[in-house]
Amino acid sequence: MTDKPPMTKRAIAGVMFSVLCTIAFAQSHDEPRNIKQLADWYRGSLEEQRRFQDYVLATYESLRVRHKICPPKRAEEKERSAAVMAVEMAIDGDDFDEAAPAFKALNRLFEFWFPCSSATSPLMIR
């Protein structure tokens, strides 16, 4: 029988952060049915705009924690602002299929803007 090494403080912190993100996301407002509803939140009242930002950031954090996306190392606030701005630009530019599920569309968008490997980045493929 082999003993497993104890978890490092960083690993424990990562697990705790992941759990907290999941709980915060579960307690947040409904998930939008599709991109059209997410765009409506973006263009809506202050409450809907807050809902939009909460959903975008929760999705971003969920993907980042699971290493599905790899944003550049910078201040957390700049990182989060870049994520929200990427979604706002895509909505304003009509880059989304309005009927697409919101989570899948944001997943693809964030994978484009924050790829984990520059060799596989759509920006690097010619």
Sign of CA dihedral 116, 34, 30, 80: positive
| Rg of the chain in Å (alpha carbons) | 16
Collapsed DSSP state (helix, strand, coil) of residue 70:
coil
Mind listing the pLDDT tens digit of every residue in the chain (126 residues)? 556 666 677 767 666 666 566 555 554 557 898 999 999 999 999 999 999 999 999 999 999 888 888 887 777 788 888 899 999 999 999 888 888 899 999 999 999 988 987 544 444 433
Looking at residue 126, what is its pLDDT?
Answer: 35
**CA dihedral of 68, 99, 43, 25, whole degrees rounded to 10:** -40
Looking at residue 111, what is its pLDDT?
Answer: 92
The closest of 1, 16, 120, 28 to 68, measured between CA atoms, is 120
